[in-house]
Structure formats: structure tokens, C-alpha cells
Structure 1
Amino acid sequence: MKKFKIIVYPVVCILMVFLTSFQLNKKNTIVEIKGEQFFVNGKPTYEGRVWKGNKIEGLLINSRMVQGTFDDLNPETRKLFAYPDTKKWDADRNTKEFVTAMEEWKKYGLNSFTLNLQGGSPTGYGNKEWVNSAFHPDGKLRPDYMKRLKKILDKADQLEMVVMLGIFYFGQDQNLDDEKAVINAVKNTVNWILKKGYQNVLIEVNNESDNKAYDHGILKAERVHELIDMVKDMKHNGKRLLVSTSFNGNTVPKPNVVKSSDYILIHGNGVSTPEKLEALIHNTRKVEGYRPIPVVINEDDHYDFDKEKNNFTTAVENYVSWGLFDFRRDGEGYEEGYQSVPVDWGINSERKKGFFNLVREITGVGK
């Protein structure tokens, strides 16, 4: 009997550790693609919703919130991002306020947002000496960034929201040593997500792959499909992540990317009229390799939300998901813009209110 207890006890302990680990990694939200539609937990998004004769079911209505994990690792420029009340920058405060705001976004009908592990320009456009990267120069993950990312992904999973997670940004990829480091960063990121059990994450390999500022060849439009294919081949417990990458505003994606991607990303920056946006969408669906998969705009800095026709309404009329890109203009206050650091993550400027009110109207959520 004593020998039996000696054998059983470690087996029970191992089983308990396994079950505990399983519970910690068990997630609530699963995103899938079926044809041109996004599904969450087995149902198309906005199930049955039609707005002004346009099908909304299956779309991702999103916003560019890429600074959710932002930090500046350069002590010389860090002071540029000080909060107006404390006069200092605080990365943990930024993420905490981001997570707090997510429930309000969801109440208006937003079901998705874009993050980026190297952020975006913290001044809206342009890059200088600041260093915002979730990766060490060799591509290893920085634990503090991933801790902040986990808080956001956990909340998104709880709220049944989809996260489009960008890995690289053209203002920061130079902080990786070489192509090997880029590949390491992709592998480390994807493995981290898969092993944590997140199934509500879509990968955007890099923001605007055709931007000439990229330093590493594998991140440029001609070769970025190599990384897309690599992500598709990575699996954990038989599961993989859906993946794509984006292009500059008013740019039709290249065939190599369209062929490899699970969904197509285009940007509305530089698309000054709804008619031009409609042409961009039409031309995107004519690219070699296109088949019925979702087309998503996850960055557009054109608003006019009070008008009958704008880029947002034009996108949904053409069955394309649409995403806001909002930044603080010169002379505007702290409450403006979701990309300018420090960020006020609330819905408390006229532009933000205009966007979210239209989200509510189109999606029918909370009405």
C-alpha cells in the first residue's frame, strides 16, 4: 500500500499541474474566416445585421490603437511623451487606461482593433530617435512588452474582440540587427501567442510593407510573403494564426501577398474621396491571386462622419471592413487622437464621438 501511494502521488501532482496549465490557457474567443466573412465563436460578426441595405454581417469594424503597449526606451526622447498631469511618461499607465477603455469601445459596436509591437509614429506621422520595440536587437521578446500585451489580449478575449496584431513598423525595424533577428522576432511572437492559447488574434506581419523606410529586405513588399508563409506553417496543438500584411495608403496590394494572405489589408490614407476608395477596393479584388476572402481597411485618416457618404460608409457599401486612424493635429488637446502619445483612450473628442456614433449606427449595437 505504501508503495502504491509513492507511485500515485507524483502522477496526481503532474495531472494537477497539467489541468491548471490547461485552465490558464483556456480562452473564450475564436476568430475564423469563412469566405469573405469573419466569424467569432462560430457565428458571423454582427449576425443578421443590415444597414441601409448593406450587409454588415461578417465585417470587422475596427480602429488603429497601435500604441497600447508603447514605451520609449531612449531616455533622451522619453520626456516627449509625458502625461499633462504627471509630467512624465508611464507605459504601465498607458496599458491600464487602454484596457479600461475597451469595454466602452465594445458597447458602441467596435469588434476589433489594431495593435503593433513596434507601435506607429507617436506623433501621427514621422519618426525620430525614439525606440519603441517589443524585441531585443536579436529578435528575443522583451518581457515587459509582452506583459502589457497579455493584459490587452486577455481583456479582448473576455470581450469577444478580435485583435489585429502587427509585428513590425517601418520606423522601428532598424532596431533589429539583421534578417535573422527579424525571423526570430516573428517566430518568437507567433509561438508566444499560440502557446498562450489566444485564438482571437490576426497577424499583420508589418505595417505598410511597401514603405521605403524598411531596412530589412524580408520586410519589403517583394519578399514579405516569405514571412506570411512562415506564420501559416507555424502550429501548436494543430492550430495556427490567420495572417496578412498591409500596404501604403491608396496602394493596391501585390500579387505575392494576395496569394499568400488569409485576408487582405489596404489603407485609406491618401484616398481623398469615397469614389477613389471605391476604385481602390475594386482594383484590389482584381489582383492576381484574389479569391473570395475578407478585405479589411485597418487604417484611414479620412472622417466626415456627419456626411451621408464618407470613406467608412463607402467601405461597408462595398463589403469591406473599415478602421479609423486618428492622430493629434498641431494645436489640438490631449483628448485628440488614438495614435499620438500620450494617448487619451476615451471617447471624448468630436472626431472620436463622430466615429463611434457612426459605428453604433452601422452595427446596431447598443441602440
Structure 2
Amino acid sequence: MEIENITLTQNPVLMKFKLFGFLCCIYLFSAVIAFSQTARKTVVSISTDKFLINEKLTYAGQIWNGHTIEGLLMNSRMVQGIFDDLNPETVSNWKYPDTKKWDSDRNTDEFVANMPIWKSYGLLSFTINLQGGSPFGYSQGQPWINSPYTSEGELKPEYFKRLEKILDKADEIGMVPIVGLFYFGQDDHLANEKAVVNAVSNAVDWILEKGYTNVLIEVNNECNVRYDHEILQPERVHELIELVKSKQKDGRRLLVSTSYGGGTIPKENVVQASDFMLLHGNGVSDPDEIVKMVEKTRNVASYKPMPILFNEDDHFNFDQPKNNFTAAVSAYASWGYFDYRMKDEGFEEGYQSVPVDWGINSERKKGFFELLKEITGY
């Protein structure tokens, strides 16, 4: 018996089957691409007062001078990682000594190149602020314009393209960035409170949509220092903390807090709303006072067991047995190094002064990283 040769064009059932298979392949291919874009390697979480990365306690089993380091999150203030200056009258202040011009992409690329080196010393975290920090270390006026938001709180793509490079690298190598959303002196580029809320929503949505699971949020750097908008000030900043907590993607949200100026103990509203506490040691020259700050924070009425981090402290003395770093460790608090280029110092000094040399090549930087390596056992 002869079997009739039937083509697809002559058999609509076969045509539909073929088309269905083709569409399934397209769907699966698209799903694989989407998964590859959002699948992440690093997950940060908190268990009572301890940090975990990928469900393992940080610095697991490490003890230094009788103090447990397990669960801490040592960090450094690296807030200028996506810095730019949109004011043509001030941008020349940040020119590199070799090229005599400012280059925001070079700044980010050199930041990323140094991240594995920092990690090799035991640095698991760094603070990066979307509005940077003072490129002079400290300053009164801020004529430069460094903000990733429009006046209405929409995102500027060029800033977030640079941020993506940093967050991708952090995820790849197992680091936990503390992403700050606002810096005093730059928040005034947002038109009103609605724009501030819009900026928070847009930035947090962007981080969640990108699938990052290694990011902590600091709503604003030092909420009690010179913010124009009331919602960024101590009495109301908890509203923005709650806003961050309310944003979810696939059942997950970002862990969030905010910080105060040096020596200040967080207020009850912020302690109640936060997932962890951020303290600053600026102006606190006596290491014993660092211990007292931790104790006072734990005694705030609304405190429940949660991690306590110093993520800004410009005191050094790393060659001395007692300094602010070791004092924080003795009180079971994480500590963060803050360094800037002081008067008449060279390009290699500091991590906040722009342009930044992101290497470990000054005596202060070396002192911090060597002590960090000793304490963390890396």
C-alpha cells in the first residue's frame, strides 16, 4: 500500500503542532535569558543580631582576642563609587592628576577593579551613597550637583548604569553593599516631599527588579544633619524606612535602616522600624565611648536584638591595641572605616575625596586593612 506524501501546508493539524513547538522554544529561551539576568549568587540575611551570607554566618568560627567576630559585617565608607558632578562650574575640582580631567566611568571602573582586593582582607561590606558624600571629606556648602534623581524623583539612567556595575561585582564575589539613598546638601535638588518619596520608590523598585539579594539600604546619611525635607529628618524618617520595607518582589524585600551624625544614639521611632542599627563614630575620640554608644543603643526602649554597625568613623590609631575599631569589636558591633584626603596630602589618600584612588596604598589604608585581616582571619 502506498502512503500518501502529505506536506505541512496540506495538514493544518501538523501546522498547528509545529507552530506550538516553535512558540514553546521561544518562551523557554526567553525564560532562560530572563533567569540568567536576575539569578544572583549572594544573599544577605539577619538572624537576631547576626549577619549571614548565603545562610552562613559571616566570619564563621572566628574569635579575635577573646571576642567573637562571627556574624559581624566589617565595612568601609566608599560612598563615591558612582560620583559625578553635573555643575560645569565645579566639575574641574575633581580632575585626575594624570589626565587633568574628571571621568565618572573611570571612577566606577577603578572601584570595581579593587573590590576583590578589599574582599581578600575580609571586607564584606561597603557603603555607597547614590548622592555621594562631601568630596572634601567635610564641607559646609555643596555647590556641586551629584544626584541620580531628577527634581521629581525619577532615576537618571547613567547613574544606575554605574551602580549596576558595582552591585553586579559585589554579588559575584560575595559582598554586601550598603546603598544610601540620600546625602544632606544634595537632597535639596529634589523639588518636594513627593519627589523624595518617588525617589525612594523608584530606587528600591530598581534594585528589586534587578534581582539583587545582597543589598542593604541606608535611607539617608546622618538624618539629623541639615536635610531640607522633613521626611528625611529624625522625627519622620521612619516613614521612608517603612516605605522601603513595604516594597516586595517575589516575596522578598530589602533590609533597611538609616544613620545619625557622630556620637548620636538612634531615636525610638527609627529603632522600632529598622532591621539593623547604623551608628557613626565621628567626633568620638575615646574608644570607651564607642562601647557606651553600643550599650546605649541596646538600651533604647524599642530595641530588639538586631545587628549594630558603625558605617562611618574617621578615627584610626590602628597600630594601638585600643582604638575605635577594636572597641566596637569588643562590644560585638561591626565597624566601618571612613577616610578622606586631608590638607596637603597626596592622591592616594582617602576613599571619600574625589578623584579617588581606590587602591590600598596609603599608610592609613594599609593600617586599616591589615588590622581588618587580623581580626577577621582572612
TM bin, normalised by shorter chain, reads over 0.9
SS at the partner of 1:69?
coil
Q: Does 1:336 align with 2:349?
A: yes
SS at the partner of 1:228?
helix
Q: Distance in 2 between matches of 1:288 and 1:18?
A: 48
2:4 match? none
1:224 match? 237
Give how far 1:150 is off: 0.5
SS at the partner of 2:81?
helix
Return the match for 1:109 from 102, 122, 127: 122
Contact 2:114/2:358, CA 8 A, preserved across alignment: yes
Instruction: Name the stretch that deviates more: 68-77 or 9-18.
Output: 9-18
1:270 match? 283
SS at the partner of 1:92?
helix
Give how far 1:349 is off: 0.3
Give how far 1:10 is off: 2.4
1:47 match? 60
Note the aligned Cα RMSD (angstroms).
Answer: 0.7
Q: Distance in 1 between matches of 2:143 and 2:289?
A: 35
Superposition pairs of residues 250-289 of structure 1, within 5 angstroms: 250-289=263-302
Once the two structures are superposed, residues 277-334 of structure 1 have per-residue CA deviations (whole angstroms, 9 ceiling, x without a partner) of 1111111111121011000000000000000100000000000000000001011000
1:192 match? 206
SS at the partner of 1:240?
coil
Give how far 1:14 is off: 2.3
2:223 match? 209
Amino acid at match of 1:232: K
Superposition pairs of residues 1-367 of structure 1, within 5 angstroms: 1-126=14-139, 127-211=141-225, 213-365=226-378
SS at the partner of 1:98?
helix
Once the two structures are superposed, residues 98-142 of structure 1 have per-residue CA deviations (whole angstroms, 9 ceiling, x without a partner) of 000111101111111000000000110114210001111111111
Percentage of identical aligned residues:
59
SS at the partner of 1:168?
strand
Contact 2:142/2:186, CA 8 A, preserved across alignment: no
Q: Give unmatched runs, 5+ long, in structure 1.
A: none
SS at the partner of 1:227?
helix
Once the two structures are superposed, residues 329-356 of structure 1 have per-residue CA deviations (whole angstroms, 9 ceiling, x without a partner) of 0110000000000000000000000000
Q: Distance in 1 between matches of 2:312 and 2:73?
A: 13
Q: Distance in 1 between matches of 2:236 and 2:208?
A: 24
Q: Distance in 2 between matches of 1:279 and 1:29?
A: 33
Moved over 6 A (4+): none
Q: Distance in 2 between matches of 1:138 and 1:11?
A: 42
Give how far 1:15 is off: 2.5
Instruction: Name the stretch that deviates more: 219-228 or 11-20.
Output: 11-20
SS at the partner of 1:68?
coil
Once the two structures are superposed, residues 146-169 of structure 1 have per-residue CA deviations (whole angstroms, 9 ceiling, x without a partner) of 000000001101110010000000
Give how far 1:7 is off: 2.9
Q: Distance in 1 between matches of 2:231 and 2:148?
A: 19
Q: Could you tell me the TM-score, scaled by structure 2's length?
A: 0.95
Task: Give the number of equivalent residue pairs.
Answer: 364
Q: Distance in 2 between matches of 1:320 and 1:171?
A: 29
Give how far 1:5 is off: 1.6
Give how far 1:6 is off: 2.1
Contact 2:291/2:330, CA 8 A, preserved across alignment: no
Give how far 1:216 is off: 0.6
Q: Could you tell me the TM-score, scaled by structure 1's length?
A: 0.98
SS at the partner of 2:112?
helix
Give how far 1:196 is off: 0.6
Q: Distance in 1 between matches of 2:233 and 2:130?
A: 18
Q: Distance in 2 between matches of 1:301 and 1:177?
A: 32
Q: Distance in 2 between matches of 1:49 and 1:324?
A: 20
SS at the partner of 2:208?
helix
Q: Distance in 2 between matches of 1:40 and 1:275?
A: 30
Q: Distance in 2 between matches of 1:275 and 1:51?
A: 18
Mark the structure with the bigger radius of gyration.
Answer: 2
Give how far 1:241 is off: 0.2
Give how far 1:188 is off: 0.7
Amino acid at match of 1:204: E
Once the two structures are superposed, residues 228-273 of structure 1 have per-residue CA deviations (whole angstroms, 9 ceiling, x without a partner) of 0111111000010000000000000000000000000010001111
